[in-house]
Amino acid sequence: MNADQSLYSLLHTPDGPPAFAEPLHVGRPNQGDREALFARFTQALDRNWLSNDGPLVREFEDRVAAILGVRHCVAMCNATVALEIAIRALGLSGEVIVPAYTFVATAHALQWQEIRPVFCDIRPDTHNLDPDCVERLITPRTTAILGVHVWGRGCDVDRLAEIARRRNLTLLFDAAHAFGCTHHSQPIGGFGKAEVFSFHATKFVHSGEGGAIATNDDELAEKTRFMRNFGFAGYDNVRYLGTNGKMNELSAAMGLTSLDKMDVFSQGNRENYQQYRRVLAGLPGVSVIDYPAAEQHNCQYIVLDIDPDACPLTRDQIVWVLHAHRVLARRYFFPGVHRMEPYRTEDPRAYLSLPVTENVVQRVLVLPNGSAVSAAAIGSIGEIFRWAFAHAKELGARLPASAPPGESFAGTAS
């Protein structure tokens, strides 16, 4: 939508310009110590060893495995490839039960291998798989349950594990959000047959691009190591169907440098999370999701629940206002994977069995976080909310109540 001049004036403070000169992104990369990073780059260049299971990759794997408390970490070029390799190594086929409330790559990793993702509803309190719904979706074609630890809050691992054991299914997890988090005081990473982590640049600990399989299964770890290198098990010896999924030394260097600052980054996230709770307190219809106090969290995601019955503006109207001030808030995981292609065409009525997902995708709003977001910036975001709510009647009359998938909010930020 292109904003006219009157809307532009309405959406800005009386002084005129947006609140922020530079955009605030949800996942702007945290940066570690540059000297340490460049020193590692120099080591790799001096060794003239840039890929193929180099020493920096092995060090990265060892450190990640120690943090997760698992026997094996198999580093990959990204989490999507890591998930695809894990799925193939586990021999999955037929149908796999997966939430529709997740990043589309979770489903794509299955569909890419001609496995049908069967979309399951979520619990409204955790945004994770509802085990009761999982049980109802199991058919003779089901081979696995693929849970997702959304926002880094652990799935109901015990229930899912019990179902998987009883129904003879494989259980694995997409843990892209959950590095450095715990569930029942245990590090997420060792649940199920395998857990897959993302070290994409948007994650609080990252390698620029990267992912990893974490597992305590010795055979699975060995197999996935071969599969990430075209299936080679030695010179001229190809043991498995494989692909090129290797992490390179420069990505590992960035990952190691990020790990050096892991505690600093997570502490900064926690402080920002508490600051957001303070500045948004008391706003009608707006709540910041809780992270259980008994667990360890990376607090990477500042997730708001916008109650349409209590909030004076719709979730999407709030996004229009924030984008006008260059606060690039996002609607995760709108509109739900089941409403994206190719899944929408394959099962256009999937939404009928996903009432909680359908509700959550209309309510969730994620705000910027990370080392690029200061306490002062969060204070300004709180002021934008309060200003918008004070002008809700006029804003509500001028702004569309919703924006469809693919609609840009950029028109209000020009």
Contact 17, 324 (CB under 8 A): no
DSSP string, 194-231: EEEEE--TTSSS--SS-EEEEES-HHHHHHHHHHTBTT
Q: Which two tokens stand for residue 122?
A: 């979520």
Asked about 203 being catalytic, the answer comes back as: yes
> Among 203, 223, 246, 261, which one carries the catalytic annotation?
203
Helix pair angle (375-390, 262-280), 10° resolution: 30
Other beta carbons less than 10 A from residue 359's beta carbon:
13
Per residue, the 3-state secondary structure of 128-188, as one string, reads: CECHHHHHHHCCCCEEEEEEECHHHCCCCHHHHHHHHHHCCCEEEEECCCCCCCEECCEEC
Contacts of 351 (CB under 8 A, 6+ apart): 336, 338, 339, 357, 358
Cα distances from 299 to residues 142, 273, 288, in angstroms, run 34, 7, 12
Cα distances from 297 to residues 125, 138, 213, 230, 303, in angstroms, run 17, 32, 20, 36, 14
Which residues are annotated as catalytic? 203
